[in-house]
Amino acid sequence: MSNQPKILIIDDDPDIVEAMKVVLESKKYQVATAKSGKEGLKKVKQEKPNLIILDVMMETQSKGFDVARAIKGDEDTKNTPILMLTAVKENTGLDFKKEAGDDVWLPVDAYLDKPLKPDELISKVELLLGKS
Amino acid sequence: MESLNSREGLFERIHWLIKLRWIAVVGVFLSVFFAVNVLKIPVPDIPLYTIALILGVYNLASLVHVNRSRANFPALANRIANTQISIDLFILASLVHFSGGIENPFIFYFIFHMIIASILLSRLAAFLQATLSVFLFSIVVASEYLGILPHYCLVGFVSSDLRNNAIHISGIAFVFVSTLYIAVYMATSISKRLREREASLKEVNTQLIQKDRIKSEYVLRVSHDIKEHLAAIQSCIEPVTGGITGQLNERQMNLLERADERAGKLMFFVKALLEVTRIKLSREIRMACFDFGDTLQDAINDVTPKAKNKNISIASSVEGTIHEIRGAREYIHEVITNLLANSIKYTPRNGKISVIVSDKGNSILIEIKDTGIGIPRAELPKVFDEFYRASNAREIEKDGTGLGLSIAKQVVERHNGKIWVESEEGKGTTFFITLPK
pLDDT for B97-112, tens place per residue?
998 888 888 888 899 9
Rounded mean pLDDT, B316-341:
91
Q: Does A13 touch chain B (CB under 8 A)?
A: yes
Q: Alpha-carbon distance B120 to B188, whole Å?
A: 9
Write the residue in B244, B268, B331 that is nearest to A23 by C-beta. B244
- Which pLDDT band holds residue B1 (cuts at 50, 70, 90)? very low
Decide if A130 is inside a domain.
no
Residue B4 has pLDDT above 80, yes or no: no
Q: Alpha-carbon distance B152 to B167, whole Å?
A: 20
Let me know how many helices (H) and strands (E) chain B has, helices first: 11, 7
- Which pLDDT band holds residue B67 (cuts at 50, 70, 90)? confident
Q: How many domains does chain A have?
A: 1
Nearest to A13 by CA among A1, A2, A3, A21: A21
Output phi, psi for A29, to 5 deg. Answer: -75, 150
List the single residue in A with minimal CA-CA distance to B234: A115
- Radius of gyration of chain A from its Cα atoms, rounded to whole angstroms: 14
Q: Does A93 touch chain B (CB under 8 A)?
A: yes
Q: Alpha-carbon distance A109 to A112, whole Å?
A: 10
Smallest Cα distance from B198 to chain A, Å:
38
Give yes or no for a contact between B188 and B128, defined as CB atoms under 8 angstroms apart.
no
CB contact under 8 A, A16 and B227: no
Rounded mean pLDDT, B258-286:
86
Classify the C-alpha dihedral B275-B279-B284-B286 as positive or negative.
Answer: positive
- Which pLDDT band holds residue B177 (cuts at 50, 70, 90)? very high
The CA–CA distances, whole Å, from B362 to A108, B12, B292, B312, B325 equal 42, 22, 14, 33, 10
Rounded mean pLDDT, A78-82:
90
Decide if A121 is inside a domain.
no
Which pLDDT score, from 0 to 100, does residue A57 have? 78
**ipTM at complex level:** 0.81
Beta-carbon neighbour count of residue B223 at 10 Å? 21
- Which pLDDT band holds residue A81 (cuts at 50, 70, 90)? very high
Arithmetic mean of pLDDT over chain A? 81
CB contact under 8 A, A13 and B401: no
Decide if A31 is inside a domain.
yes
Q: What is the pLDDT of residues B331-380, one digit of tens each?
A: 899 899 999 999 999 999 999 999 999 999 889 999 999 999 999 999 99
Nearest to B408 by CA among A93, A100, A91, A87: A93
Q: Alpha-carbon distance B81 to B14, whole Å?
A: 7
Which pLDDT score, from 0 to 100, does residue B224 have? 87
- Radius of gyration of chain B from its Cα atoms, rounded to whole angstroms: 34
Write the residue in B236, B238, B407 that is nearest to A15 by C-beta. B236
The answer to whether the peptide bond before residue B381 is cis (omega within 30 degrees of 0) is no
Give yes or no for a contact between A67 and A76, defined as CB atoms under 8 angstroms apart.
no
Domain that holds residue A39: 6-113
Q: Does A101 touch chain B (CB under 8 A)?
A: no
Q: Alpha-carbon distance B235 to A86, whole Å?
A: 13
Rounded mean pLDDT, B399-408:
85
Rounded mean pLDDT, A61-89:
83
Decide if A124 is inside a domain.
no
Which pLDDT score, from 0 to 100, does residue A87 have? 64
Decide if A90 is inside a domain.
yes
**What pTM did the predictor assign?**
0.64
Which pLDDT score, from 0 to 100, does residue B421 have? 95
CATH code, domain carrying A47: 3.40.50.2300
